[in-house]
Amino acid sequence: MELFTNQVLAGIATGAIYACMALAVVMIYQAIDHLNFAQGEMAMFSTFISWQMMQWGIPYWGAFVLTLAFSFAGGIVIERLLFKPLAKAPILTNVAGFIALFAIINSVAGLIWDFTIKQYPTPFGSSPFLGSQLISTHQAGMIGVTVLLLILLFFFFQYTRIGLAMRAAASLPESARLVGINTSWMIALGWGMAAAIGSIAGMLIAPVVFLEPNMMGGVLIYGFAAAVLGGLTSPLGAVIGGFLVGIFENLAGTYIPGVGNELKLPIALALIITVLVVKPAGLFGRPIVKRV
């Protein structure tokens, strides 16, 4: 039993990483109705920016806030330059755009900061959390930040005018224009917010996986798995999905013979497929009721 609780706790700790990334995935999905394959690379690049600022002597929280602002603006710029012209293009063209963006950001980061692994600091320390060997204060801090982010997003979308406008623009662009919403800017805003959330995820993940241009590869797949499991339309679902994937992965590694560390990633992928087959809207995705 103790083994079980320990594995669940450890799963929650890694799950926080996935939850954070899944939140960024859901955010962009809400705005543009596609999954952004370059999301992880954008987050990685933002994390490098914050690292560079710290190298220049800016304190952690200063670099954190500046990076948020940089990422927000960067997301908007990427949308205006690259994806606004593709807005009416077929989905495959957009996918090609995402992959191009992925490759470009990855190479540019490698060019500027090279591919060696770098230490990345944590503001929460890395001592055991409440005396537990399984969760460090950093991981606890990460869970806290993810939950806080979730609550902020909930209030933003549910109770602000601009949040409502963003939801409208995402669900029915033509109707949104007919009530006077500038849908094009709502999409740009969605990119900005997704990039900013992604940068938070990157800065929280970097102390765990270390900073390097390929740090987000695996994480993004888990983030997708979490988002699909929880429901691509639900930020809450994404976060819960993140924790579930973390727990599931740990338990499978412990209890299913032969799984071990090597087969953890295929498990995430198998999870995506299973959920898509059994419950396409995800655990918490809003089933859309339509009466004709």
DSSP assignment letter at 136: E
| Number of shown-chain residues binding other proteins (CB under 8 A) | 23
Residue 88 touches other proteins, criterion: CB under 8 A:
no
By the 10 Å C-beta count (0-12 exposed, 13-18 middle, 19+ buried), 61 is classed as: exposed
Q: Is 90 in the site for other proteins (CB under 8 A)?
A: no
Residue 277 interacts with other proteins (CB under 8 A): yes or no: no
Return the residue of 148, 151, 152, 172 that touches other proteins, per CB under 8 A. Answer: 172
89 lies in the binding site for other proteins (CB under 8 A): no
Q: Min. distance of Cβ 177 from other proteins in angstroms?
A: 4
Site for other proteins contains 176 (CB under 8 A) = yes
Among 180, 258, 261, 262, binds other proteins (CB under 8 A): 180
DSSP codes, 2-32: HHHHHHHHHHHHHHHHHHHHHHHHHHHHHHH
The reply on whether position 286 binds other proteins by CB under 8 A is: yes
When asked if residue 181 is in the footprint of other proteins (CB under 8 A), the reply is yes
Beta strands in 39-161 (DSSP E): 128-129, 132-136
For other proteins, the binding residue among 87, 89, 179, 276 (CB under 8 A) is: 179
The residue range among 38-46, 89-97, 105-113, 174-182 that interacts with other proteins, by the rule CB under 8 A, is 174-182
Instruction: Write the interaction track for other proteins spanning residues 148-167; mark x where CB under 8 A is met and - where it is not.
Output: -------------x--xx-x
CB of 162: closest distance to other proteins in angstroms? 9
State the nearest-atom distance from the C-beta of 35 to other proteins, in Å: 19
3-state secondary structure of 89: coil
Binder to other proteins among 3, 130, 178, 278 (CB under 8 A)? 178
Angstrom distance (rounded) from CA 31 to CA 123: 31
- State how far the Cα of 67 lies from the Cα of 63, in Å rounded to an integer: 6
**Among residues 27 and 43, whose Cβ is nearest to other proteins?**
27
Q: Which of 107, 133, 171, 274 binds other proteins (CB under 8 A)?
A: 171
Contact with other proteins (CB under 8 A) among 3, 92, 130, 289: 289
Strands (E), 113-244: 128-129, 132-136
Measuring CA to CA, which residue among 143, 146, 113, 117 is closest to residue 129?
A: 143
Where b means 16+ CB within 10 Å and e means fewer, 150-170 reads: beebeeebeeeeeeebbbbbb
Figure out which of the listed residues 82, 86, 134, 168 binds other proteins, where binding follows CB under 8 A: 168
199 three-class SS? helix
Closest among 241, 266, 239, 240 to 252, alpha carbons compared: 266
Where on the chain is the footprint of other proteins (CB under 8 A)? 161, 164-165, 167-168, 171-172, 174-183, 286, 288-292
